[in-house]
Structure formats: structure tokens, C-alpha cells
Amino acid sequence: MSDVIRLLPDSVANQIAAGEVIQRPASVIKELVENAVDAGAKSIKIILRDGGKNLIQVIDDGCGMSDTDARLAFERHATSKIQKAADLFDLHTMGFRGEALPSIAAVAQIELRTMRKGESIGTRLLLAASKFESQEADACPPGTNLAVKNLFFNFPARRKFLKKDSVELSHIVHEFERLTLVNPDKEFLLVHNDVTLHQLIPGTLKQRVVGLFGKALEKQLIPVSTETSLVKINGLVSLPENTRKRNPLQFFFVNGRNMRHPYFQKAVLHCYENLIPADHQPNFFLNFEVDPSTIDVNIHPTKSEIKFENEAPIWQILVAAIKEALGKFNAVPSIDFDSTDTIDIPVFNPVTTPDFSDIPANDYNPFAAAERGESDSLPLSAAGAVKSPSALNSGADILSTGGSLHKASHDNRGSLSDWDRLYQDFQAATSYGGESPDMTDFSIPATEQSALNIPDSLPAASTGVLPDMEMNESSGMLRLRNRFLVVPAARGLMVIDCYRAHLKVLYEKFIKLSATLLGESQQILFPETITLTVAQNVILGSMLEDVRILGFDLSFLGDNVWAINAVPAIFAKLNATDTLMKMIECVADETVLPGADIKRRVALSMARAGAISATHAITDDEAEALLASFLSLPDPTYSPDGKPTFFILDTSEIKKRLQI
């Protein structure tokens, strides 16, 4: 039997590594820009074509490479960043594995032109699918110019899974935002299909945020700054009144590197508790500076997940810093301890005699019973609770028994007979036909009763339903907690989720509408303006024709600002800006309707905007109309996002549960 274990060729190993490191054009941007930052570049230009599928070109003015280094840089695990394993815990560069360039070269065509500063001649290198094609001397400016062409050209199946150009471009813009925020001291230029999307000059973090996301943020952010022996934190957080219901801008950086950290994100949200609505989140841009030996960045191929040695102390420091910033800028409501709810206390005068005329007389003596040698217990109320002296003197010691009023005696003579009298009326009230029924066989222990969640009292028998239920006697339809419809079915009972059913009905309506005729529009008396980010603007541009078919009338005002002049007539009562933003989010979200065309994504987003909320108190007429529309659908089983809309509670299952 021959040996079966063999070494993989370098080309195959590079392609496997590319599957982890290079997932889409945005991944290439990240790796190349981080290399430019490590090379000391002060100006970085990114030129794209067709969403990065056909061209990604990154030009920097960094230190450049010699002809030998340029050739060696595309070998696997070749790097200038580290020399030994111990260097992993003292990293001062973005890259260190030596996997990015060989991974990119394994799935694309590469043209590299580079020259070191101080030299007069550079080098030009060509590769395709990890295969070396040529290298020659070249006259080029100092720095590095690397062009990645035809990404995944040798992997047709992988290239097929890339999204539309607009979607890929939005991912690139998001990655560009993260890279530029962490490097505010560098100049950046982003060009797509000869159109300049971003041109950023060096400046402070706040200037970079304003340059990326608009001038409106300039007055919405406050600085955060603190320095301890463990960590130095500085950055920006939003004022409570400027939080967002959707698309919050939330960025963490550590030692000049982007990171995701849910634990620290909870710390930020903790600072805004009771200051903002539950469905809002703040914007924040926070940079952590720590000792490199106390973090581990080598736990994920993209280096976006970072492990901290001192997570708990840093959590407390972060919370304290943000709360201090919010308090310093009057973001937290202040309390005037000198005047709020104060009591007017008169100045003591030893000469005058205090006036007690306003104090009501009280002849209650708690020790009277003890002096007479009687029980020291206080009278009981009808509920069996001890009554306070104040309640006794205010007349609250009147007991209602058997329809007559009796004043409770303050002397507790005959305590045993008092207990008997206390329960006598209770037994009489619960008797049936003048006799107390024998409940021995029907009693439920208290522990089991609480486990079954049995209510303390049931409604009158004439209602026929339990609390939170409403019956439509004409149709036999039952509404449960304003969320579910229960209707008779051939095999038992059908339980329908109202929200998902309405979502399905609207979705099918919009699909039909977009395929047959133009939607009716409702003009807005005062057109609303909406300011988008570059990524959102790209998405809206790709779906513009579809939203116009559905009834939107939009006009571009420049600088990523749009005017909403009309909305679909069916949504005339909804917030136009909110509806449009939901549509953009749905199209950008790849987890919703994966692989679906843009028309279906737009239809789903509009259905979500118009569907009843989960807490809407649906009426009988609405329920009947919804049920009729829902059951007339060709396939009502699942909602547009793949969730079940109803289920059948079979008669056999009911019998099984009742042990019939």
C-alpha cells in the first residue's frame, strides 16, 4: 500500500489561505491599505472599477521596496514585520503574518510598481494566480502602486457569489470608513469608475468623522478622554438627544487597529441607560491605547477580534470616562440638592413656646391593652393585615361584613372568637347554595397553581373566553393578545401570527405591483430631505428605478442629499424618511432574502414599513380582512424572510395532551 499523505503545492496552499483572508473586494482594500500604513505612507489613493471586481488599485507614498523585496513579498509567510514568535506580543504594525499578498496573488492578476525613496529606478512585477510572469526595471515615483485586476478570475464559482457592484461598493466604503477613522493623520482619496467618492485631508478624529459622515455630527459629539496605568482612552460619543434608532456609528480602535468588542459595547450602552429610549443607540468613536503585550490580535484571520488581558478593569475605566464626559457636558439631568423638595424648617427660638394647635388630637395608647393584661396584638383588617394606628384613628378600622358595618373594638377580648368571626363571612361568601362544597378532590396545591400560571380570578362565565382573548361570535374567530388569530380548521385549530401574515400579504402585493403597473403616488406638501452616507447613497442609486416604480418621487440635491417629493399612496400616513431608510437597510443586508434580486428586497422593505406592529390592537374588521387576504395567497405558509406564518393544532394532538 502506497503512502497517501503528501505536501500541498504552494499555489494550492495560497488559494486555501485566500478563502479565509480574501472574501470580497473590501478584504483586498483592507490588506493593501494596512500595508501602506505600515510602510509609513502619508497619502493613500484607492482607485476602483466595477465595485472592485475588475480593478483595485492602491497607490501610496511610503518607503517602497527593492526589486528583491518586491519578488519575495509574494511568497507565503514572507514578512518584514516580525522575526520571532515573541514579537507577536509586541506588535506595532497592522500586518505580521505574511499571508495577504500571496493570498491576493492566488486569486487575481497583479501588477506591482514600486521604488524606494532616494533611488532613481524602481521595479515592475507581474503575477497571475500565484504564477510569476515578469519583472523589469521601471521609472516610477517613490512608494508603491499595486493594481489587483479581475478578482477571482480563476475561481468562476467564487466570482459568481460576489454581489452587485453597488453592494460590493458599499462594503468597500464601510471598510474605507474604518481605515480612515483609525488613521486621521493621513490623506485618503477614494475613486470609483472615475467618480471621487471621498477626498479626506489630514486632521483630528472629529474632523475625520465630519468629513466622512457630514457636518451635522460636529455639534452632536462630545470628547471622551482618560489615562490610567492600564489604558489610555480618547474619542467621541454622542449626546443622548442625538442617538439613533437605526444605523448607529459605532467604532472601536486599539493601538491604531479596528476591532469588534461586544463586551466594551455593552459598557458604552450601560452609560446611556435611562437617558435614551430603549430602541435607540449612541454613536461613538473610541480609541484604546494599551501595552501591546496585554492584548492578543492573532486569534482571527482578519485580526478584527482582539483579546484583552485586563477586560474587567478597562470596562470600569471606560464606563467612568463616558459618564464623566456626559456629566461634564450636561448630558445627564442635574439635581439641585439645595432647593429640590426641601422642607421649610423654622429657625429655633428658645424664648418662644412651640405651637402644637395644628396637630390633631390622638387618644390612641398602644400600651393600654398591656396595662390591662390583654393581648398586645393590633386589630386586623378584613384582609387579615395588621392595621396601623393612623388607619385606626382615621376611621379605616371599619369592617364590612355581611352587608352591615361593624366598628372593630380596640380591646382584643376573646382572640379565638375573633379569628372565628374573621373567617365566618369568608366561608359564607364562598358557599354554594348555602352549603360549602367539598373541594377535596379538586384542590390544586399552591406550588402547582403558580407553575400552571392560573389567574387569581376568572371572568364571568358568560364571556366564554379568558383574559387577553376576544371572540368574534359571527365568524368564530378568536383574537389572542392582539398578536394571534385562532380560527377553526378542518383538522383542528389554525393559529396565525398577525404581523407575519400582514407582512406576507403586503409583500405579495408589492411584487405584483412592481411587475404590472406603476404605483400610485401621494405628493408631500412640504418635501422632506434626507442626508445619506456614501455607502447608503450608492445603495439608493442602485435601487432608484425600482422605488420610482413603486410610487416614490425622489430628486438628488447633491452632496448625498435627496428630496422626497412623493411616496406610494398606500404609505401616505407613514414617515417618508423612515420608510426609505428601512428600504436601504434591507437592500444592504445580505442576510435578508440571500440571492434575491433588488425588486424583492425593495418589496420586503416596503412591506416591513407598512405592516402592523406586533403590539397593534387589531379590530374585528381588520382581522377578518387580513384573514381573507392571507388565505387567498397561493402559498401563505412562510413569511418573505422564511419564518412560519401559522401552524395547525391537530385534533389528535389536543386529545393526546388531554389524555383522551
Cell of 596: 434575491
Cell of 514: 412592481
Residue 352 resides in a domain: no
Q: Which residues of 149-159 are buried (b: 16+ CB within 10 A; e: fewer)?
A: bebbbebeebe
Q: Which residues, at least 6 apart from 48, have a Cβ–Cβ distance to it below 8 Å? A: 25, 55, 56, 57, 169, 172, 190, 191, 192, 193
Name the 3-class secondary structure at 44.
strand
Q: What is the DSSP code string of 382-412?
A: TTSPBPPHHHHHTTTTEEEETTEEEEPPSS-
How far are the Cα atoms of 240, 286, 334 from residue 243, in angstroms, in the given order?
6, 16, 20
The verdict on 547 and 573 lying in the same domain is yes
Q: Taken in order 24, 30, 36, 39, is the CA torsion positive or negative?
A: negative
The total of structural domains in the chain comes to 3
d(CA 166, CA 542): 6
Which pLDDT score is estimated for 85? Answer: 58
pLDDT tens by residue, 28-73: 999 899 989 988 999 999 999 999 999 999 999 999 999 988 888 8
d(CA 16, CA 10): 10
CATH of the domain at 253: 3.30.230.10
The verdict on 192 and 216 lying in the same domain is no
Residue 439 resides in a domain: no
Element (H, E) at 601: helix 598-610
Element (H, E) at 200: strand 195-200
Residue ranges making up the domain that contains 578? 497-646
Which pLDDT score is estimated for 660? Answer: 84
The CA-CA-CA angle for residues 504, 510, 515, to 5°, reads 130
CATH of the domain at 612: 3.30.1370.100
Which pLDDT score is estimated for 268? Answer: 94
d(CA 77, CA 97): 6
Which pLDDT score is estimated for 51? Answer: 92
Q: Which of 200, 224, 245 is the last residue of a domain?
A: 200
The verdict on 137 and 277 lying in the same domain is no
The verdict on 51 and 185 lying in the same domain is yes
Residue 241 resides in a domain: yes
Q: Which of 169, 200, 231 is the last residue of a domain?
A: 200
CATH of the domain at 57: 3.30.565.10
Which pLDDT score is estimated for 362? Answer: 58
Cell of 15: 488559494
Residue 255 resides in a domain: yes
Q: Which long-range contacts (CB under 8 A, 24 or more apart) does 310-318 make?
A: 310/230, 310/231, 311/263, 313/230, 314/230, 314/231, 314/264, 314/288, 314/290, 315/263, 315/264, 315/267, 317/226, 317/228, 317/230, 317/231, 317/233, 318/233, 318/264, 318/267, 318/268, 318/286
Q: Which of 151, 171, 200 is the last residue of a domain?
A: 200
Name the 3-class secondary structure at 463.
helix
The verdict on 32 and 163 lying in the same domain is yes
d(CA 27, CA 188): 17
Which pLDDT score is estimated for 413? Answer: 45
The verdict on 17 and 138 lying in the same domain is yes
Cell of 592: 435578508
Cell of 349: 427660638
Residue 412 resides in a domain: no
C-beta separation of 191 from 45 below 8 A? yes
Residue 116 resides in a domain: yes
The verdict on 291 and 174 lying in the same domain is no
Could you list the beta-strand ranges (E) of 50-116. 55-60, 109-115
The verdict on 121 and 217 lying in the same domain is no
Residue 94 resides in a domain: yes
Which pLDDT score is estimated for 7? Answer: 74
The verdict on 266 and 184 lying in the same domain is no
d(CA 388, CA 382): 13
Alpha helices in 5-136 (DSSP H): 10-21, 25-38, 67-72, 100-106
Cell of 3: 503512502
pLDDT tens by residue, 96-150: 556 788 889 888 999 999 999 889 899 999 999 888 899 999 989 999 999 999 9
Q: Taken in order 605, 606, 609, 614, is the CA torsion positive or negative?
A: negative
The verdict on 194 and 280 lying in the same domain is no
Residue 390 resides in a domain: no
Could you list the beta-strand ranges (E) of 65-185. 109-115, 122-128, 131-138, 143-149
Alpha helices in 78-163 (DSSP H): 100-106, 156-160
Which pLDDT score is estimated for 110? Answer: 94
Name the 3-class secondary structure at 141.
coil
The verdict on 152 and 243 lying in the same domain is no
Q: Could you give the dihedral angle defined by the CA atoms of residues 383, 388, 392 and 394, in that order, rounded to the nearest 10 degrees?
A: -110
Parts of the chain with a pLDDT under 50: 334-343, 345, 375-416, 426, 428-468
pTM above 0.75? no
d(CA 6, CA 87): 31
The verdict on 105 and 83 lying in the same domain is yes
